Amino acid sequence: MEKLSVEDDGEWARKEGVPSFEEPFLQKYLQGRDALIAQEKRQRSGSLVVIARLCLADTRPDQRRSCFSRNDVAHGG
């Protein structure tokens, strides 16, 4: 059995109509995907700030230290 080279794989993909990363519709999809990921990161970081404020507002100064542990903040939980 003959082993295919990278050039053979590329030729096969073109013949079969497999889209390349340079195609406009695929670029638009990847940009949209990146935008959604960035938006989710912003929303998650914002929610941690809100949770921290609520926690601090509902505790006495001597209890605030135990409101969050380093592990909770580092792992989002």
Q: Spell out the domain ranges in the chain.
A: 19-71
- Average pLDDT over the chain, rounded to whole? 75
Beta strands in the chain (DSSP E): none
Least confident of 10-14, 24-28, 36-40, 73-77: 73-77
26-52: pLDDT as tens digits: 999 999 999 999 998 888 777 777 777
CA atoms within 13 A on the CB side of 67: 16
Check residue 77 and give its pLDDT: 47
Higher pLDDT, 5 or 54: 54
pTM here? 0.45
CB 13 within 8 A of CB 5: no
Token representation of residue 55 = 């926690």
